[in-house]
Amino acid sequence: MTLPLTFEPATPADDVYTVSDITAEVGRAIQRSARSLWVRAEISEYKAYSSGHHYFTLRDARSQMRCVMWKHDARRLTLRPEAGMEVFVLGRASYWEEKGEFRFTVTAMLPSADLGAAHRELERVRALLKADGLLAPERKRPLPRFPETIAVVTSTDGAALRDIITVTRRRWPCARLLVVGAKVQGDGAPATLARALKLVNRLPGVDLCIIGRGGGARDDLAGFNSELVCRALAEVRVPTISAVGHETDVSLSDLVADHRAATPSAAAEAAVPDCQEVMRGLRDLAVRLSHGLRRRTSLAEERLARCSDRSRMALEQLLERRQHQLERLAAQLDALSPLRVLERGYAVAQDGNDRVLRGVEDFRAGLAFRLRLADGRVSARVEQEET
């Protein structure tokens, strides 16, 4: 069978179209037939550019279409659209001639009463975790300041692990990383993640646990939103950091963990201190320690000096007092001295042994004795006893 020819291949010149002719014609056709309509769909990718324009994809079970929401419409949004959310949008079909692409231009967006399926599951698990108190802020434990052994639950060949190792080696070389491998995406990820977390509890001496993965599309984060993983994470007996590598989306593991980091690198930064800083702190402590002792010993020296000053003064005072006493006694002694009596003209008779001769019977005839006078002694002899 032969097809009827609609073109004359031999004479193309008159009927050749340019690309612009075609796109303009298609564009006109689309715009002519397009009217504003409401569409119910799930958002699968959403990107708000700094220009203010929003670009995203809407999908249902069979198809998808690319959408744009211009700045002046996006400004009026009352919800924060994100992938997985089911919404109602008002818009019309349009055509981007330069690219030859069909776009659905959205002018308004409302949350669907019935959220997207993934979103619903997430909310279900979140509610369960919340009911069990696993999301309570008071459950959050502080991270250890100087962790020595850190368990890392992630894929052994992912960028996440490489980043964590690099940052830890740079900042905190005294750490030991214990890697517990797990599947972080796809089927079976929740089970291996949960098993790895349980295994962490059997490791001795672990100070901290990081669970994470590098950035990925939303569907790939399902493991970190699973109830199994979140409950296992809550049961880890050391403080935990969740780093699922997604700036915009928060996974449920982020909410259950004690600390949330935007990326695995950020998790390592939060986990370990900077060794140089700690060294500086240590030097400060060393200085304070020696200053403390020096201050204390100089205090003792001062006190000692003060003590010796005081005791010298006390001694001097005592000496002075004693001296006065001595002088007083000397004066009294002087008054009582027999020499004073002798000065008045008396004499004392003493025998050769300096014994004082007190009575007549002491003077036997012929006895040699001495008379002691105020200015000296005189030898004498008894010539005759008087009767």
List of residues contacting other proteins (CB under 8 A) = 144-146, 148, 151, 156, 161-162, 165, 168-169, 172-181, 199, 202-205, 275, 278-279, 281-282, 285-286, 288-290, 292-293, 295-297, 300
Task: State the Cα–Cα distance between residues 9 and 26, nearest whole angstrom.
Answer: 24
Q: Indicate the SS3 state at residue 316.
A: helix
Tell me the closest approach of the beta carbon of residue 264 to other proteins, in angstroms.
13
At 236, the amino acid letter reads V
Tell me the closest approach of the beta carbon of residue 83 to other proteins, in angstroms.
32
Task: State the Cα–Cα distance between residues 312 and 329, nearest whole angstrom.
Answer: 26
Residue where the block lists tokens 């802020």: 137
Q: Which is nearer to other proteins, 292 or 366 (CB)?
A: 292
Q: Which is nearer to other proteins, 134 or 211 (CB)?
A: 211
The answer to whether the CB of 43 falls within 8 A of the CB of 83 is yes
Q: Which is nearer to other proteins, 173 or 376 (CB)?
A: 173
Tell me the closest approach of the beta carbon of residue 115 to other proteins, in angstroms.
38
Nearest to 232 by CA among 243, 221, 244, 224: 224
Q: Which is nearer to other proteins, 80 or 291 (CB)?
A: 291
Tell me the closest approach of the beta carbon of residue 149 to other proteins, in angstroms.
9
Q: Which is nearer to other proteins, 176 or 312 (CB)?
A: 176
The answer to whether the CB of 292 falls within 8 A of the CB of 182 is no
Count of other CB atoms within 10 angstroms of residue 232: 25
Four-CA torsion 254, 256, 258, 260, nearest 10 degrees: 10
Tell me the closest approach of the beta carbon of residue 82 to other proteins, in angstroms.
34
Tell me the closest approach of the beta carbon of residue 253 to other proteins, in angstroms.
20
Task: State the Cα–Cα distance between residues 268 and 245, nearest whole angstrom.
Answer: 12
Tell me the closest approach of the beta carbon of residue 300 to other proteins, in angstroms.
5
Q: Which is nearer to other proteins, 67 or 206 (CB)?
A: 206
Task: State the Cα–Cα distance between residues 288 and 263, nearest whole angstrom.
Answer: 38
Cβ-based neighbours of 340, under 8 Å, separated by 6 or more: 334
Q: Indicate the SS3 state at residue 96.
A: strand
The answer to whether the CB of 224 falls within 8 A of the CB of 183 is no
Q: Which is nearer to other proteins, 297 or 311 (CB)?
A: 297
Tell me the closest approach of the beta carbon of residue 160 to other proteins, in angstroms.
11
Q: Which is nearer to other proteins, 9 or 205 (CB)?
A: 205
What Å distances lie between residue 172 and 77, 147, 286, CA to CA? 45, 9, 21
Q: Indicate the SS3 state at residue 317.
A: helix
Tell me the closest approach of the beta carbon of residue 152 to other proteins, in angstroms.
9
Tell me the closest approach of the beta carbon of residue 169 to other proteins, in angstroms.
5
Ranges of H-type helices in the chain: 19-33, 71-74, 117-131, 159-171, 189-200, 222-225, 227-234, 252-256, 264-271, 275-336, 338-343
Q: Which is nearer to other proteins, 69 or 206 (CB)?
A: 206
What Å distances lie between residue 72 and 75, 85, 89, 95, 197, CA to CA? 5, 22, 15, 19, 47
Q: Indicate the SS3 state at residue 310.
A: helix
Q: Which is nearer to other proteins, 81 or 147 (CB)?
A: 147
Q: Indicate the SS3 state at residue 305.
A: helix
